[in-house]
């Protein structure tokens, strides 16, 4: 009976892991299809979505920034979009891409990669 509980727990963990990977793959594909273009009008921690770091674009489009924390271009590795992005910045992500350009009002910019590491 103890062996059966261990086997059952392992099976449950494996199923959960596979489901989480499937959900991320689905979200990544949906994100890839999105065209994002506009001005950041709000930046906040979404208390109703597991404390997700979130921005609002053009006052009506929300975007969770959790997976946008790795990678950049211009050899200016900020590595953290949350620390870099501010209200008033412009954002642009082309449909089919997983790169987002954050442009400051001064014209300086960073390009961040969508990043997800398997295995959490």
Distance of alpha carbon 98 from alpha carbon 45, whole angstroms: 22
Average pLDDT of 40-50? 88
Q: How confident is the model at residue 52 (pLDDT cuts 50, 70, 90)?
A: confident
What confidence score (pLDDT) does residue 62 get? 86
Residue 72 scores a pLDDT above 50 = no
More confident residue, 71 or 56: 56
What confidence score (pLDDT) does residue 18 get? 53
Residue 96 is classified by DSSP as T
Question: For the chain, which residues make up each domain, given as ranges?
Answer: 2-113
């Amino acid at each position: 009976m103890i062996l059966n509980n261990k086997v059952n727990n392992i099976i449950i963990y494996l199923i959960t892991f596979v489901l989480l990977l499937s959900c991320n793959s689905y979200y990544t594909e949906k994100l890839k299809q999105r065209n994002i273009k506009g001005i950041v009008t709000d930046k906040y921690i979404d208390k109703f979505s597991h404390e997700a770091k979130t921005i609002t674009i053009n006052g009506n489009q929300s975007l969770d920034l959790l997976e946008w924390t790795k990678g950049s271009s211009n050899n200016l590795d900020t590595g953290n979009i949350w620390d870099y992005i501010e209200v008033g910045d412009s954002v642009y992500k082309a449909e089919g891409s997983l790169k987002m350009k954050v442009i400051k009002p001064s014209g300086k910019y960073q390009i961040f990669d969508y990043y997800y590491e398997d295995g959490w």
